[in-house]
Amino acid sequence: MPKVGMEPLRRRALIDAAIAAIGERGSLDVTMSDIAGRAGVSSALAHHYFGAKEGLLQATMRHLLAELGRDVRTALSGASEPRSRVAAIVRVNFSEAQFQEETIAAWLAFYVAAQHSGELRRLLRIYACRLHSNLMSGLAPLMPRSEAERTAEAIAALIDGLYIRRALKDGPPNAASAIAIVEDFLAMKIGYSSP
C-alpha cells in the first residue's frame, strides 16, 4: 500500500467521482461527502487537495474540457481535407467517450452553471472559442468568411442542442442519429462532396 505519491491518484479519483455524482444528479448541487465517498476517501481529503468545493468543480470541468480537447486534436491530426476536418470535429462530440448519459448530464450542468460563475464561464468560453476556430479551419476554405462564421455558429448550436435534448430522452444516447442530423446540415451547406 503505497503511502506516497497518492496525490495525482486521489485527484483523479475525486474528479472522476465528481463527474459521476454530477452526471447522476444532473446538477452541480452535489455534496463533497458524496463525491469523496464515491472516490473512497473522506471529504476532508477532498478539501485538502482542492481547497474547496469550487476548486474541485473547476478542476472537474477543466478535466472534461481537456479530454474533449485531446480527442478533438487527435481526430484533427488525421484529417487534412477541410471537409473531413469538420466531420471529424462533429464525430468527436458524439463519440462514445463523450456522448454518454453521465458525461452529457455533467456537461449540461456545467454549461448552465457557467452562466453565473466567473471561472466556469471563462473555461467554457475558452472551449467555445477553440471549437469555433477548429470549425473555421475546416469551413473557411469552403465558403466565404461570413458564411463560414454563421455555419460554424449553427453547427455549434446544433451540437449543443442535441446534447441538451438528451435531457428529455430515455435510454442510451443515439449518437448515430445525432451525427446524421449535423451531417445533413453540413451536406446541404457545402454540397454533397463526400466528407
Residues 70 to 129: which contact a second copy by CB under 8 A?
A: 105, 108-109, 111-116, 121, 124-125, 128
Helices and strands (H and E) in the chain: how many: 9, 0
Distance between CA atoms of 173 and 171, rounded to whole angstroms? 6
> Smaller CB distance to a second copy: residue 13 or 179?
179
First to last CA, the chain: 51
Distance between CA atoms of 5 and 84, rounded to whole angstroms? 42
What is the closest distance, in whole angstroms, from the C-beta atom of residue 75 to DNA in the complex? Answer: 35
Packing angle between helix 53-77 and helix 82-93, nearest 10 degrees?
A: 140
> Smaller CB distance to DNA: residue 2 or 144?
2
* x-or-dash string of contact with a second copy, 153-192, rule CB under 8 A: xx-xxxxxxx-xx-xx--------x--xx--xx--xx---
6 forms part of the interface with a second copy (CB under 8 A): no
Q: Which three cell numbers stand for residue 124?
A: 467554457
What is the closest distance, in whole angstroms, from the C-beta atom of residue 57 to DNA in the complex? Answer: 9
Which amino acid is residue 29, in one-letter code?
Answer: D
Selection from a second copy, DNA, none that 168 binds (CB < 5 to 8 A by kind) is a second copy
Residues 41 to 60: which contact DNA by CB under 7 A?
A: 41-45, 47-48, 51-54
What is the closest distance, in whole angstroms, from the C-beta atom of residue 120 to DNA in the complex? Answer: 15
Of 188, 86, 100, 194, nearest to 141 by C-alpha is: 86
Q: Which ranges of 31-81 does DSSP label H, i.e. alpha helix? A: 32-39, 43-50, 53-77
- What Rg do the C-alpha atoms of the chain give, in angstroms? 18
2 forms part of the interface with DNA (CB under 7 A): yes
25 forms part of the interface with DNA (CB under 7 A): no
Integer angstrom CA distances of residue 177 from 2, 17, 66, 180: 46, 30, 26, 5
Selection from DNA, a second copy, none that 26 binds (CB < 5 to 8 A by kind) is a second copy
* Interface with DNA (CB under 7 A): 1-7, 10, 30-33, 40-45, 47-48, 51-54
